[in-house]
Amino acid sequence: MLEIRDLHVAYGEIPALKGISLSVATGEIVALLGNNGAGKTTTLKTLSGLLAPRSGEILLEGESVRGMPPHLIVRKGLAHVPEGRRVFNRLTVRENLEMGAYTRSDAAVSADLDRVLSLFPRLGERRAQVAGTLSGGEQQMLAIGRALMGSPRLLLLDEPSMGLAPVLVEQIFETVGSINRQGTTILLVGQNAALALDIAQRAYVLETGAVVLSGSAADLARNQDVRRAYLGEM
Amino acid sequence: MDFALLLEIFPQVLLDGVILGFMYALIALGYTMVYGVLEFINFAHSEIFVVGAFVGVEILLGLKNAGALDQLPPFLVLLLILVAGMAVSGLLAVVIERVAYRPLRGAPRLIPLISAIGVSFFLQDFVRLIESVWRNAFNLVYPGMEGLNRRLELTATVDVPVKALVVITASLLMLWALHLLVNRTKLGTAIRAVAEDQATASLMGINVNAMISLTFLIGGAMGGAAGVLFGVQYGLINPYTGFIPGLKAFTAAVLGGIGNIPGAMMGGLVLGLLEAFAASYLSLLTGGAFGAEYKDIFAFSVLILILIFRPRGLLGEVVRERA
């Protein structure tokens, strides 16, 4: 589904990614772990075209999308739920969802709308409301639902649990699991490493712009370094 | 003070104010839509307006010289010049953005502003040059169309020229169409999404540059329509005609809350009415101490007062959210 080879990205002169390679197979949930500044968000932004890599290759289903503008990468079946949700505050919930399906004109859009509303019934209740008036949890649901409206094959999720109450966090992760079971491949950036490792099959650990560990989620969850650094154990 | 006279001219002044207000509203939309998307004041917009007025007058003069002006139904002619003025001004605005603003995106804010002022000067003198070579004159008068100059007598003291009704109807139709486009279509929603957050809009598959071009196209077309209607209503135009209406429309946009589309419409009407009443009533109310020539002071006093006491405008400025 997705393959990244030796990706280098810099903000001006400051390197952010120093040669990252990773892959995501169709149907997987892969987690990307690491501390602030490790390069997780930078990786996702580069994948969706918001940032341009210095060098390296990005293959989406075998096709290079490196250097493509974001609005064209979306059409290749990739959706990116950005950090901090970034819903359109001045648009209604319904309009936000419509924007998620912006590239589509097929008949299945209304079926996808039903699917999103059944995943997140709250969004249906608040359909006519302006997104800026939603709670943080509802905005996260909207951001995920909006991305699903594009019927993506690969979904990039950046910190879907940030700033949410624990109950909501679990609910969001459960939904992420069911989205995956319905056939969407997911690359997940997780602040909450325990939950991320719980639903992911595999994971990569980033440190200062490089992959320092990778493997099955179960192995990483048992790894002493990971437990100490990301699962809060002493 | 002559109250009877004040009352007697009231409907006429109201009508003048409404016409002027719609004109300001149409121009103000161009400022406010571009600001909404780019947070930048397109100071060349007053010349986009003027170019619309010149397209209209050139077509009318061409038809007149061909002897066709009085043969054709006036409403058809009006529709023709309106559409032509909108098309030329809209495309001009798109080209200006592509050539003078897009390369400067990401530059400090003052830079595109200076570029806009440069474009404004360039267009003024370009129109002057073309007209000087072509007609050997750049002060042009809209040829009268008989059907439009007829007056409908409503009461003994109030009569309405047909062209005033035409200006009001055309303005209302365009504002309504714009409202539908921006609020009821997918494309309009995409423009609003781009106005709020360009990066996230691009993640939806929206081509941000295309939406910015579309914004300039629509704002430019409204400005061009205003130029044609200005010519039809007031007659005399020259390449520098746009300056004062442009500034006033900008004032109207700030008055309503810059970036806010309904605000621009309302700001235009308020300013137009204020100016019309100032022009007609000032000398009556002050016993001749202040005359109609002080009306511009009113418009710009409003701008200053708004900037001091309510800088976000009456309906609230639309500020882009940044995460």
The pLDDT tens digits for B247-298 are: 999 999 998 888 888 899 899 999 999 999 888 888 777 777 777 777 788 7
The CATH code that applies to domain B3-141+148-309 is 1.10.3470
Tell if the CB–CB gap between B207 and A99 is shorter than 8 Å: no
Residue B202 to residue A84, Cβ atoms within 8 A: no
Asked if B204's CB is within 8 angstroms of A100's CB, the reply is yes
Query: Among A229, A206, A208, A227, which Cα is nearest to A218's?
Result: A227
pLDDT at residue B60, as a whole number: 95
With bands split at pLDDT 50, 70 and 90, how would you rate the model's confidence at B321? very low
Q: Is 60 exceeded by the pLDDT of residue B320? A: no
Taking the CA of residue A47 and the nearest CA in chain B, the distance in Å comes to: 11
Q: A211 pLDDT exceeds 90?
A: yes
- Window from A85-94, A139-148, B1-10, B175-184 with minimum mean pLDDT: B1-10
Instruction: Give the percent of chain A with pLDDT over 70.
Output: 98
Two structure tokens written together for A74: 């979306």
Alpha helices in A86-223 (DSSP H): 93-100, 109-119, 121-125, 136-148, 166-181, 193-199, 217-222
Nearest CA of chain B to the CA of A178: how many Å? Answer: 22
Instruction: Compute the average pLDDT of residues B99-112.
Output: 93
Is the pLDDT confidence value at B317 over 70?
no
Whole-number pLDDT of residue B82:
96
∠ CA B210-B216-B220, rounded to 5°: 145
pTM of the model: 0.91
Q: Is the pLDDT of residue A76 over 50?
A: yes
Q: What is the pLDDT of residues B70-103, one digit of tens each?
A: 888 888 999 999 999 999 999 999 999 999 999 9
Q: Which domains does chain A have, with CATH numbers?
A: 2-77+152-230 (3.40.50.300), 87-151 (no CATH)
What does the mean pLDDT of chain B come to?
89
- What average pLDDT does the segment A101-124 reach? 92
What is chain A's Cα-based Rg?
17
Residue B212: closest CA among B102, B86, B127: B102
Tell me what pLDDT residue A37 has. 85
Look up the ipTM and state it: 0.93
> Residue B126: is its pLDDT beyond 80?
yes
Of A68, A163, A55, A179, residue with least CA distance to A115: A179
Predicted confidence at residue B163, as pLDDT, reads 85
Of B203, B318, B323, the CB nearest to A70: B203
- A141-168 pLDDT, tens per residue? 999 999 999 999 999 999 988 888 888 8
pLDDT of amino acid B300: 83
List residues of chain A with CB under 8 Å from any CB of chain B. Answer: 48-50, 69-71, 74-75, 79-80, 82-84, 86, 88-91, 95, 98-100, 102-103, 132, 146, 150
Nearby residues of B214 by Cβ (< 8 Å), 6 or more positions away: B187, B191
Residues of B with a Cβ under 8 Å from any A Cβ are 186, 189-190, 192-193, 196-197, 199-208, 318, 321, 323
Nearest Cα to Cα of residue B39 among B122, B107, B95, B136: B107
Q: Which of B81-95, B101-115, B235-249, B307-321 has the lowest mean pLDDT?
A: B307-321
Q: Is A54 helix (H, G, I), strand (E, B) or coil?
A: coil
In terms of CA atoms, which chain B residue is nearest residue A100?
Answer: B204
Cβ contact, residue pair A82, B205, below 8 Å: no
Whether residues A102 and B205 touch (CB distance < 8 A) is answered with yes
